[in-house]
Every structure is written in structure tokens, then in C-alpha cells.
Amino acid sequence: MHNDFNSQLLAELAAAQAAGEPVVLAVIVKARGSVPRHVGAKMLVYENGRISGSIGGGEMEARVVQEAAVSLNDNQPRIVPYTFIDPERGDPGVCGGEIEVYIEPYLPPAAVFIVGCGHVGQAVADLAHWLGYQVVVTDDRTELVTPEQIPHADVYLPGDLATILTQHRVTHSTYIVVVTRNVEVDRRILPLLLDTPAPYIGVMGSRRRWMETERLLLADGVTESQLTRIHAPIGLELNAETPAEIAVSILAEVIMQRRGGDGKRMSL
């Protein structure tokens, strides 16, 4: 029965991955003394806090759900110890034992979501494909969102962005590259993108263009703290000129964000 339950839980995990749904696997890896569940007990924690399975219930399980949310945000596994001795000291129970829970996030594949399919968007799509990202492209100019214009995209989403975002999941693994044609387009779409959990939103344009976009967004009710999520002007300063060079600048910043780099020269 135990093996059947584990198989069911692992099948759920595989289904979540196939659907692009972020999920965390929590497993008891060490147990000593009197504890509610023993080594091998498993639980899945979904992005909305829903759980499947159990590692003991109660306060400890609630704490693991909280830790799982942190793990989804930083995409780092961790081992968390718990003791069951003194609730007044902050322990989650009084059984008298100790456990360790291994918490592992399973995020969808890293994707580059490109808004704007002009020359720069096309170059970003080509380079992101070469780098191994899932490439998603969208533009309200539907004639540009085609395999003929962008041969290396994985997902083509022509049309209105508000509608597209109800149909396509943007996740903690989605890096958004906004390379549109003008300020008014950015003004319309950026509030929609700020409502997503994307870890990176970069916007192309000069500093003057971004200052104007920022002014308009603030007038529309976007907050200063929301705007701190936006990287604008997009990319690292390479004095890039061609669309391909600009794509290198943009994706260098995406890689830096994803891997925790600082963008400095490595030579002394």
C-alpha cells in the first residue's frame, strides 16, 4: 500500500511537470524517537499551497508548506530539521522526536517569453533557442508571429496579450523580454506582466524612453515597488549595435539573473 501511495504521488509530480505547474516534493529523510511519520513519507506542495499526501499533519506540515513556498521562489532544495519537544520554544509538537525533511522544488523548464517580434525579438528568439531555453513569442501584429519570421520558437502566441496571459502560464521560470515598438504598447502591457511571478522582466529602449514609460505607468496607478521589478533599459552595456549583438546583451542579463552572476569582467 505504501508503495502504491508513493507511486501515485510520483505520478502526480510527473503530471504537474508535464502541465508546467510548479510543485515541491517534501520527503522525510531522517526520523528519530517518537514522530508522526517516518522516513520515506512524502508530500507534494503546489504553488497555491494545496497539498497532496502527508508528512504528519499539524503545525509541522504547515511549516513545511511555508518552506516550500520559499523553495519555489529561490529554486533551491533544502533540508529542514524539526524537533518535537517544547512548543513554547517554537517546536511544532510534543512527541519527543526529531525529523529532517528534504524539500525539492520542481519548476517548469526555463523559458524566454518575448513580447515583440521585430528584428530584435527575432534575434533574441534565435539566441535563446541556441542557449537551450523554451522560446515563447507573442505580438499583436499577428503576421510577425510565424515560423517563417521566427523559425526557432517553441510556442507562437499571436494576438492580444491580456487574452494570451489567460491561456499561457507564466511561471517562476519564465524570463520576459519586452522588445516592442513604442511607449504606448509598453504602457498597456507592463501592468499585465507585473501580475505574473516571472523573476525577470526586461524592457528595451533608451533611458529617456523608459523615463517616459515609467511616468505614464505611475500615473496609471503602478507603484514604485512594482517598477523595481523591471530591468530597463534591458541588457548589459556592451555598446551593442546590431539586433544579434543586442540579443547577446539581453540574454547575458537573463543568464546573470538566473545564475546569480554580477556581470563583471573575470580578468583582473
List the grid coordinates of 179: 522588445
The answer for residues whose C-beta is within 8 angstroms of residue 263's C-beta and 6 or more apart is 236, 252, 253, 256
Parse the chain into domains and list their residue ranges: 2-106, 111-259
pLDDT digits (tens, 9 = 90+) for 71-94: 988 888 999 888 765 444 444 444
Is the pTM value of this prediction over 0.85? Answer: no
Tell the CATH topology of 111-259.
Answer: Rossmann fold (3.40.50)
Instruction: Count CB neighbours of 173 within 10 A.
Output: 20
Lowest mean per-residue pLDDT among 48-57, 183-192, 232-241, 247-256: 48-57
pLDDT digits (tens, 9 = 90+) for 102-149: 999 998 889 999 999 999 999 999 999 999 999 999 999 999 999 999
Q: How far is CA 41 from CA 29, 76, 80, in A?
A: 8, 21, 15
How far apart, in whole angstroms, are the C-alpha atoms of residue 203 and residue 205?
Answer: 7
Coarse DSSP helix, strand, coil percentages of the chain, rounded to the nearest 5 percent: 40, 20, 40
Read off φ and ψ for residue 157, nearest 5 degrees: -130, 75
Read off φ and ψ for residue 55, nearest 5 degrees: -120, 20
